[in-house]
Structure 1
Amino acid sequence: MKYDHYEAEDFAADEAFTAWVQHPEPETERFWQDWLAAHPDKRPTVAQAVQLVRRLRFQNPVVSEPDVQDAWQDVQAQLDSRRRQRTLYRMAAVISFLILSSAATVWVLSNQWERVETAFGETRTLELPDGSRVVLNAHSQLRYPASWDATEDRDVWLEGEAFFDVVHTANHQPFRVHTPELDIRVLGTSFNVRHRRGKTQVALQQGSVQLQLNPEVTPAAAADPIMLVPGDLGQFSDATQRLEKQPVDVAAQAAWKHQLFVFDDTPLSEIALHLKDQWGVDVAFADPVTEERRLTGEIQAPSLDVFLESLEEVLDLEIQREQNRLLIQ
């Protein structure tokens, strides 16, 4: 089938796909849900495509040359340099298709969007247009409108991990954080969101949060929404396909904001994933026994070198490092 090898930009250029996203009908809803059920590996790609379509805006029906030039500049500004050439051609298809449509309208990427990215080992604190504050963890990305109208919902899109301190507006505007699997709805509260490797976790510090599966990429009947109260952890993963809730130490979940990493009987195999997420290093183990050794405690680590030195000392390990590869023995 033609959709099997589509990337997000291909879906966004497809007339049937965009019609489903914008004006879902029972027949199209059934088709796409059946297709996603048969292609679960494409759910993240479809989620990105849905976000892309929703970020497009209708322009004046009369399309001028400056309009097209502005569209190209917007597209180019948001491309990842490693995929620039391939994605330019795909975006050209999106823009060309819409310019030639019967309505004579054109969609362009809105120039009113902000995108903040962090590198490995970097955290950033930022203030959103409504005054809410976000601490963005390493190797993460946050996208949001450059301004919010007083009548609009406040929506942001997260890949990676971030801690949110959301202000409560006078007219009670909902605030939503979107990951590929979950829509997280709040009014004013503090919480940590972590999205890595097909799993989203939400740890609530203050206020209340509602978790809802993203209907575009998960079956509508998969789970009802769940409410979190302070001290709860809500999570959903591609592996379990279940929306779950359990108590958690929220301070430990968000300790990374202070360059503090808390472990509770955590195997080294899981700590290796943390090293990959935080500093972009690949970890190998000399033997399976070492891989299953466990750590309980805290490590204060402003850098990878400090973290590795502490790990060596606490567990009496030898860690060899060659560029971005580690051997633990």
Structure 2
Amino acid sequence: MEDSHQGLSYIRQLFVKHAEGRTSPAEEAQLIAYLSEGDASALPDIDAMMHTAAPASLEAAASERILGHILSTATTAPRSRTLPLLRWMAAAVTIGIIICIAWFWRQPATQPVWTKISTDYGQLRKLTLADGSVITLNARSELRYDSVAIYGNKREVWLNGEAFFEIAPATKNAGTFVVHAGDSLQVSVLGTQFNVRYTNNKAAVTLNSGKVKVAAITRDNNAEIILTPGQMVLYDPQTMQLQQQTADTTLTSSWKVGQQTFQQASLSEVTGWITTQFGIEFRFSNPALKQLPFSGTIPSDKLESILPILEQSLDIRIDKSGRQMMIRPAH
């Protein structure tokens, strides 16, 4: 009995800690497991939790959707053990105790609660999910996911741009992680590190560690490729073909630490990357300049540092006018 009381006290402490925004992914997983059992005996008092220091909050629209679903479930559920929990969750959502939504993977969803995260030119952003998975977004990228379903067995995100994924292994309550790149390609993983780029309707997936399955709609039929570390797959929706090849993962994912590495890339390829990253347009005084070869590592988030490196390495001059740049021979 004493152990039971200690366990309930610990759960109450975790609820308060979560409302203050201080729980770890492991502690949030404990709360999720507790809520899924439908036991209300350890729930702290809502009035007391309203005075926590830094409650985690949902947007008003998301709170209203979740609250409505909780209340509708509470009025129809016949189990006396579950009703106190549902009513507590309904009150908790109104003050931003967002761990409650993790309970909903067991309930029929009414509509998704979408979360969108985006980056601007030259900006990197890192996101840590409740299961401990870490996603790093490159510049001019957007990630969308259902903030209710992501807590449960259906871990799915939709990407436009480029991101590096460090995915926590699948568990009983956290299933396969799926990344959608456009309408025709998806990457399924159980626990691994990989890079996905989806720009200009073309996709590239590079695997750093673990194993992923890449599925796409192809011209002949739907195709699947299993990647092992050091491999990448390219997909072009226009040709509807998957192309598998070896890859240097230090080149494809160096951007997430603020660097971009090129090996024998043409100046046209380099300036194309700069345009995507910073929104700068380039013109060439002589078309032959486009073919100048460049090898080296440049900052991926500081345009003012990139231009001098190119000028010195390629003996060129870059003249800037607003968001347009003219490339000329240095002499």
Provide TM-score, normalisation by structure 1: 0.63
Structure 1 pair 289/109, CA: closer, same or farther in 2 (3 Å)? farther
- Measured in 1, the distance between the counterparts of 2:284 and 2:166 equals 38
- Measured in 1, the distance between the counterparts of 2:151 and 2:281 equals 45
Structure with higher RCO (Cα < 8 A, 6+ apart) = 1
Return the letter of the residue paired with 1:175: F
Question: 2:185·2:214 contact (CA, 8 Å) conserved in 1?
Answer: yes
Question: 1:191·1:204 contact (CA, 8 Å) conserved in 2?
Answer: yes
Q: What displacement does 1:327 show?
A: 0.9
- Measured in 2, the distance between the counterparts of 1:119 and 1:151 equals 30
Return the letter of the residue paired with 1:230: P
What residue in structure 2 maps to residue 118 of structure 1?
Answer: 119
What residue in structure 2 maps to residue 209 of structure 1?
Answer: 212
What residue in structure 2 maps to residue 97 of structure 1?
Answer: none
Question: 1:130·1:148 contact (CA, 8 Å) conserved in 2?
Answer: no
Larger deviation: 144-153 or 166-175?
Answer: 144-153
Residue-by-residue CA offset, 1:180-205 (whole Å, 9 max, x unaligned): 13111001000000011121000100
Question: Matched residue of 1:119: which SS?
Answer: coil
- Number of residue pairs matched? 222
Return the letter of the residue paired with 2:186: D
What residue in structure 1 maps to residue 196 of structure 2?
Answer: 193
Return the letter of the residue paired with 1:120: Y
- Measured in 2, the distance between the counterparts of 1:149 and 1:196 equals 24
- Measured in 2, the distance between the counterparts of 1:192 and 1:149 equals 20
Return the letter of the residue paired with 1:273: G
Structure exhibiting the larger radius of gyration computed from Cα positions:
2
Question: 2:123·2:301 contact (CA, 8 Å) conserved in 1?
Answer: no
Question: Matched residue of 2:316: which SS?
Answer: coil
What residue in structure 1 maps to residue 178 of structure 2?
Answer: 176
What residue in structure 1 maps to residue 135 of structure 2?
Answer: 134
- Measured in 1, the distance between the counterparts of 2:157 and 2:124 equals 18
Q: What displacement does 1:223 show?
A: 4.5
What residue in structure 1 maps to residue 158 of structure 2?
Answer: 157
Q: CA RMSD in A?
A: 2.4
Structure 2, gaps ≥5 residues long: 1-65, 70-108
Question: Matched residue of 2:223: which SS?
Answer: coil
- Measured in 2, the distance between the counterparts of 1:176 and 1:123 equals 22
Q: What displacement does 1:131 show?
A: 1.8
What residue in structure 2 maps to residue 318 of structure 1?
Answer: 317
- Measured in 1, the distance between the counterparts of 2:137 and 2:150 equals 24
Question: Matched residue of 1:308: which SS?
Answer: helix
Residue-by-residue CA offset, 1:129-187 (whole Å, 9 max, x unaligned): 32210110000000012234665321000000000000013226110000113111001
What residue in structure 2 maps to residue 241 of structure 1?
Answer: 240
- Measured in 1, the distance between the counterparts of 2:130 and 2:151 equals 11
Q: What displacement does 1:243 show?
A: 0.6
- Measured in 2, the distance between the counterparts of 1:239 and 1:317 equals 36
- Measured in 2, the distance between the counterparts of 1:150 and 1:271 equals 39
What residue in structure 2 maps to residue 271 of structure 1?
Answer: 270
Return the letter of the residue paired with 1:234: V
Q: What displacement does 1:241 show?
A: 2.1
Question: 1:177·1:185 contact (CA, 8 Å) conserved in 2?
Answer: yes
Structure 1, gaps ≥5 residues long: 1-56, 61-106
Return the letter of the residue paired with 1:326: M
What residue in structure 1 maps to residue 168 of structure 2?
Answer: 167
Provide TM-score, normalisation by structure 2: 0.63
| 1:96-115 mapped onto 2 (5 Å cutoff) | 110=112, 112-115=113-116
- Measured in 2, the distance between the counterparts of 1:310 and 1:126 equals 31
Return the letter of the residue paired with 2:270: I
Question: 2:123·2:139 contact (CA, 8 Å) conserved in 1?
Answer: yes
Question: 2:122·2:300 contact (CA, 8 Å) conserved in 1?
Answer: no
- Measured in 2, the distance between the counterparts of 1:206 and 1:278 equals 26
Return the letter of the residue paired with 1:173: G
- Measured in 1, the distance between the counterparts of 2:150 and 2:278 equals 37
Question: 1:135·1:164 contact (CA, 8 Å) conserved in 2?
Answer: yes
User: Where do 4+ consecutive residues of structure 1 move more than 6 Å?
Assistant: none
- Measured in 2, the distance between the counterparts of 1:170 and 1:108 equals 25
- Measured in 1, the distance between the counterparts of 2:258 and 2:150 equals 35
What residue in structure 1 maps to residue 23 of structure 2?
Answer: none
Identity level (%): 32
Structure 1 pair 258/136, CA: closer, same or farther in 2 (3 Å)? same
- Measured in 2, the distance between the counterparts of 1:191 and 1:248 equals 12
